Amino acid sequence: MIYLDNAATTQLDEKCLDIIKEYGVNEFYNPSALYRKAMESGNAIKSARNVIAKSLGVKGEEIIFTASGSEGDNIALLCSMRAKSGKVIVGSSEHSAVYNCALELKVRGYDVVFAPCDRYGRTDLEKLSELLDEKVVLVSIMHVCNETGALNDLSAISKMIKAKSPRAIFHSDGVQAYGKIPVNLKTLGVDLYTISAHKVHAPKGIGALYCRSGLYLKTFVFGGGQESGIRSATENVPSIMAFADVVERNLIKINENYDKVKMLRDYLYNRLSDTFDNLKINTDAEKSSPYVFSFALNSARGEVLVHCLEDKGIVVGTGSACSAKKSTKRIPLALGIDDDYSQGMLRVSFCEKNTESEIDAFIEALKDSLQELIKYQNKSVGKSDCILTRLKLR
């Protein structure tokens, strides 16, 4: 199986298994208990928290462990409000975890507006500037777009917010950026930043939220007061420790991995361009993370191609896996993709383990899948009525 859907999730680093066993079987104690072994588990969590904090350029006490990136987004948007009313600005191409929180804030009485993006999913800074004013209480703009890989300039956005909306809180969903591009939150100027472990070869079910010192968050989960009283629950020690271990070992390779993946992304772009005429590229190679690449064909539905490719041993996605079961035109509309291409979107997302030979296999499998679909539909509806006759191969 060739796996090219790493934006959805990544393969677990096998070394995590030893850590999970150690803290699940041997050092299994509840960190909130008072005896020595429990306190040792508490100290282990503190060390892990410092590892995550260091990787982001912040302090350990500014890190809150969560159960996922989506939970981190929920805490950031729903628990950070100091005002009971005001304007909330959210990027139009945001992940569904942020988008649906924005809809909830609208129900609660906030004036929610969506900042337009360009055709690649990058927030339009000029139009964002026009939306900013003294009424704005919260802005949420993702760091790297999970659909296209578009990279937003958080530092520029932060300066803009502080100049025009000084009381606004600035949150960024960094799930597709963290561990893949260098991130220093102090220089980026965000107040809240969400990350997730399973996007970087660590376990599912663990993530973290950076909360700037001095920023008050309302309680999200009531209970024993863990995670500074924000998210009570017995800590997921095995996953926290595995997450920190992956980060500590892989952070030193972030630039090396970036360069390798960029070569793969560029190779894919060239192979696609050399093979297909009816191709729409949704990723700006100059201003994006190389880990995510989106394109569309006007000759077949994306979900049909996903299943055809899977039958040939290739796994890709159509977009955010979190909304894969919901038919939505939100992202294609935000990107300005017309109807001919909106149904044919595919997303290829990499990790450092992928190879050029896997890209070659994907291209051949995609060609074969499209040709098979042509034959099938020609038999079913007649050649003159077949949408797939628009397929052109070089």
Residues marked as catalytic: 322
The DSSP string of 344-368 is TEEEEE--TT--HHHHHHHHHHHHH
Instruction: Give the position of tokens 């628990």.
Output: 79
Burial class for 43, CB neighbours closer than 10 Å (0-12, 13-18, 19+):
exposed
Q: In whole angstroms, give the CA distance from residue 392 to residue 371.
A: 10
Position 340: which residue type? Answer: D
Inter-residue contact 226 to 32 (CB < 8 Å): yes
Q: In whole angstroms, give the CA distance from residue 47 to residue 34.
A: 18
Picking from 239, 286, 237, the residue whose alpha carbon sits closest to that of residue 266 is 286
The 3-state secondary structure of 54-77 reads HHHCCCHHHEEEECCHHHHHHHHH
